[in-house]
Amino acid sequence: MQLVKSIVFQSRFHESEPAIAFPGGVATYGSLMKSILSAVDALRIFELEPGSHVMLDIRNPIHHTAAIFALALMGLPSSSVGSAFVAGTSGYLPKLFLTDRDDVQVAGVRNIRVDERWFASDPATRPDYNRLLSLPGFASPQNVVRYVYSSGTTGYPKCVALTEACLDLRISRGATARSWWMSGPAGLNMMGFSTIMGISMPLTAHLAGAVLCYAASPAEALQMIQVFRVSALIMAVGQLQAFYRVFADQRPPVSLKILAIAGAKISQSFLAEARARICDTVAFGYGSTEMGGVTSGFATTIDQPEGFAGYVVPWVKIEAVDENGQLVAAGIEGTLRVQTDELAYYVDSEGRRVEMLEDGWFYPGDVGRIAADGSVVITGRSSEVINRGGVVVAPDAIEEVLRLDKRITDVAVVGVPNPQGVEEIWAGVVADSLLDTKAIIDAARPRLNEKTPDRVIQVPSIPRAESAKVRRGQLREMLLAKSS
């Protein structure tokens, strides 16, 4: 994989500089290279055929990165999973599963426990760069190098395949369109390895010779920002909400120059709070695992409409169409569809390619508006829209209003059919104390009117993927169980 070989080549010029940091330790570029070689030697024991899929669940980010890079250099595609384990549900399982957990097993797959010995090396020796660079990699740019399991927000988890050509294109273009996402010598990535950002950020940061920090909680994130003087913070909206609460009344970090938001749109009210309290420059974009980046933008002092997602990047074509597939006028809401040469593809249980296009277009399941100047506003999800007896409701619009209630720490909304088959609006809410759910409904009614939830049910937590997207199918089952 040429991206990884480029990282190996450049590492010899700054091998004593930090590459990865987390509360459990720091790896220099030199020690990372030696860990990759150690992982290569360990993996060779299993005599895997080229193209064999290896899945990872390794909590140490240094070891996880080393394993991904080692597999790529050996021509073995990888995937990563975490708490959001959907591999079995999607149907496509690996040849080998590597984990440092004692409590995780994957049925029907060879499970291997990894530990420090897999990545250990002699501190007195220098990395063997020539040996790393001589590893075979993938035979063709069209070979799959990475599998990413979808978050399953529609209730149907899928496995997305990224070829070497596709990933190379995304990283190179991303470095142009989103250069501010890695604007300094140290970045902190809160997105899990199982997400598309989880593989994109290490490649981007280490190609630039930067140090990439990791944190498992908001408190750890704050610690890493202070210790490593982090300049760029990358996280999902749900993670930002948790970080905001931990941040409390502290002064904004002096080193932090940019806050990059991924995974979901952010409300304008919360965006204003984040800019005032954490970092004035907030970058964001619209895209998905399947199609890559579609828009890019950043917050300004100029008021933007709710759901503003930035401007369409030059190499992507995006349209809004009506229910008959006809193009709607600029500024009119419609179902979004995209054409891009960064498109990945789905695979079935045997790893065979599954077509995801309809008449040459990819439909990401979003509803929005495209203005004449190329700006995009996301108004909801076509697959998550609730039809409440003719009143069409986007769940995230209701969530934004409920989130204004200071008693609520997290919230998600789903549609639940009543005995007559009409969808009702049910909200799952999380709080630090016992809630009067009727009071929550009454407080929201003046803002929501006919879109006010029919039921509000307090839950211990909102089920989310590692990208922080709500698992609405799982939430619906949770709410139904609590209501019975």
Report residue 50 CA to chain centroid gap: 28
Average pLDDT of the residues of the chain: 89
In this structure, which amino acid lies at residue 464? R
Q: 149-153, 405-409, 454-458, 475-479 — which is least confidently predicted?
A: 149-153
What single DSSP character describes residue 464? B
> Do both 61 and 114 map to the same domain?
yes
Instruction: Identify which of 405, 414, 452 has the alpha carbon closest to the alpha carbon of residue 433.
Output: 405
Lowest mean pLDDT among 200-204, 320-324, 415-419: 415-419
Average pLDDT over residues 143-158: 75
Asked if residue 66 and residue 34 are part of one domain, the reply reads yes
Per-residue pLDDT at 71: 98
Domain boundary among 377, 411, 445: 377
Average of per-residue pLDDT across 236-253: 78
Confidence of residue 106 (pLDDT cuts 50, 70, 90): confident
373 and 391 share a domain?
Answer: no
348 lies in the same domain as 410: no
What is the pLDDT, as a whole number, of residue 52?
96
Q: How far apart are CA 74 and CA 271, in angstroms?
A: 43
Same domain, 235 and 339: yes
Q: Which of 317, 345, 377 is the last residue of a domain?
A: 377
**Is the per-residue pLDDT at 237 higher than 70?**
yes
**Band of pLDDT at residue 84, cut at 50, 70 and 90:** very low
Write down the pLDDT at residue 153.
46
* Domain edge (last residue) among 377, 408, 442: 377
Split at pLDDT 50, 70, 90, the class of 155 is: very low
Average pLDDT over residues 377-399: 78
Question: Is 355 in the same domain as 425?
Answer: no
Collapsing DSSP to helix, strand or coil, 248 comes out as coil
For residue 392, what are the β-bridge partners?
387
Q: Say how many C-beta atoms besides its own lie within 10 A of residue 156's C-beta.
A: 11
> In sequence order, what are the beta bridge partners of 318?
338
Length of the chain: 484
Q: Which of 72, 58, 77 is nearest to 119 (CA)?
A: 58
Both 338 and 441 in one domain: the answer is no
363 & 396 share domain: no
Q: Are residues 343 and 394 in the same domain?
A: no
**What does the DSSP 8-state code read for residue 138?**
-
Tens of pLDDT, residue by residue over 245-304, are 777 677 878 899 999 988 667 778 888 888 888 888 898 889 989 999 999 988 876 678
Domain at 406, CATH number: 3.30.300.30
| pLDDT, tens digit (0-9, with 9 covering 90-100), for 301-322 | 667 888 899 999 999 999 999 8
User: Which residue range(s) make up the domain with 455?
Assistant: 386-483
Contact by Cβ (8 Å): 411, 402: yes
Same domain? For 260 and 311 the reply is: yes
- Residue 26 CB-half CA count within 13 A: 12
Q: The CATH number of the domain where 120 resides is what?
A: 3.40.50.12780
Q: CA dist 455 to 26, 296, 379, Å?
A: 48, 37, 23
Q: What are phi and psi of 247, to 5 degrees?
A: -60, -30
User: Do 276 and 405 belong to one domain?
Assistant: no
| pLDDT, greater one: 273 or 478 | 478
pLDDT at 85 over 70: no
Rg from Cα positions in the chain: 23
Q: Per-residue pLDDT for 394 more than 70?
A: yes
Enumerate residues 6+ apart whose C-beta is below 8 A from 22.
60, 61, 62, 213, 214, 215, 216, 220, 224
One-letter amino acid at 119 equals F
Same domain, 288 and 346: yes
**The model scores a pTM over 0.75:** yes
pLDDT tens figures, 350-384: 999 998 899 999 999 889 999 999 999 998 777 77
Number of domains in the chain: 2
